[in-house]
């Protein structure tokens, strides 16, 4: 299991890989700020997230709030089942724009 990181691809999609847990979300939040500023429409691909907990879902909420502050649209792509389950149990389906 490699380190958690983010990078923007040629299409402007921000790819997140690794763990989104209490141990990593602060570091990822710091990394994400510059990428969120660069993106015109924010798309976060979470396909390569290997593990997540409620802190990871809280980070999704924070990204959605940041997009709203920047007056940009945001979409979460390929969210792992583990995260979808937390979102569902927490009743956040309407708050987080999650797509397949």
pLDDT, tens only, 13-38: 999 999 999 999 999 999 999 999 99
Question: What domain range is 82 assigned to?
Answer: 5-99
Interval 32-87: pLDDT, tens: 999 999 988 999 999 999 999 999 999 999 999 999 999 999 999 999 999 999 99
Q: How many domains does the chain have?
A: 1
CATH number of the CATH domain containing 77: 3.30.750.24
In whole angstroms, give the CA distance from residue 10 to residue 30.
Answer: 21
């Amino acid at each position: 299991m490699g380190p958690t990181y983010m990078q923007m691809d040629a299409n402007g999609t921000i790819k997140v890989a690794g763990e989104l847990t209490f141990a990593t979300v602060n570091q990822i939040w710091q990394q994400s700020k510059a990428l969120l500023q660069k993106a015109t429409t924010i798309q976060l691909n979470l396909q390569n997230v290997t593990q997540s907990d409620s802190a990871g879902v809280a980070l999704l909420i924070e990204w959605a709030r940041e997009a709203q502050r920047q007056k940009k649209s945001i979409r979460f792509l390929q969210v792992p089942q583990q995260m979808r389950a937390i979102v569902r149990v927490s009743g956040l389906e309407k708050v987080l724009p999650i797509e397949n």
